[in-house]
Amino acid sequence: MSLSGVLVWAPVAYSGPARDLVRALKFRGAIGLADAMAAQIVANAPPGFLARRTIVPVPLHPRRLRKRGYNQAAAIAEAVGRRAGLPVRECLFRSGHSITQVGRDRTERMAGPAGSIHVDGRASENVLVVDDVVTTGATLGACRDALVANGAREVVAIAFARTIGR
């Protein structure tokens, strides 16, 4: 599916057990779940989706990263990289406001993430952006825009789960 101009794929719907897994990873520090999520992603990815790409996790705002102590998207990205034999580069960073997407309505989410997303250095040519959950794709679109502005030619994205009907 294409969201906010980014080709996005996720193996499961964000409901039931998948939602519980994401919440445990994101809010309860269950970092070990990232490998199980990566297993689902790598085992079921569309043909060619993981080929010859540099994996780049969606960044957390520095304030949220300090509070949580880890970036759940980076944990999933590292596990996908290990399983798929792909390099991981944490080259995106956020600045500005640090409002969470949780609780924002569709219109607010479509406006994009709070604050700005930037690239540290030059982007790889073919990039696979990784996140835990995709809703509207606005955050992935902002990541894509920053990467393309800094040299990426092709940007696609994966997430462990996708919301349905939003």
Each residue of 119-149: pLDDT tens digit? 999 999 999 999 999 999 999 999 999 999 9
> DSSP class of residue 46?
P
Distance CA 145, CA 128 (A): 13
Number of domains forming the structure of the chain: 1
Look at residue 78 in the predicted model and tell me its pLDDT: 98
pLDDT-based confidence at residue 4 (cuts at 50, 70, 90): confident
Each residue of 21-75: pLDDT tens digit? 999 999 999 999 999 999 999 999 999 999 999 999 999 989 999 999 999 999 9
- Kind of pairing, strands 2-3 and 6-9? antiparallel
> Which pTM was predicted?
0.87
Task: CATH number of the domain at 92, please.
Answer: 3.40.50.2020
Q: State whether residue 82 is helix, strand or coil.
A: helix
Sign of the alpha-carbon torsion through 18, 105, 63, 126: positive
Q: Which amino acid is at 27?
A: F
Which residue range(s) make up the domain with 132? Answer: 2-162
Distance CA 136, CA 110 (A): 6
Each residue of 83-116: pLDDT tens digit? 999 999 999 999 876 555 455 454 554 454 557 9
Contact 101, 131 (CB under 8 A): no
Distance CA 34, CA 14 (A): 15
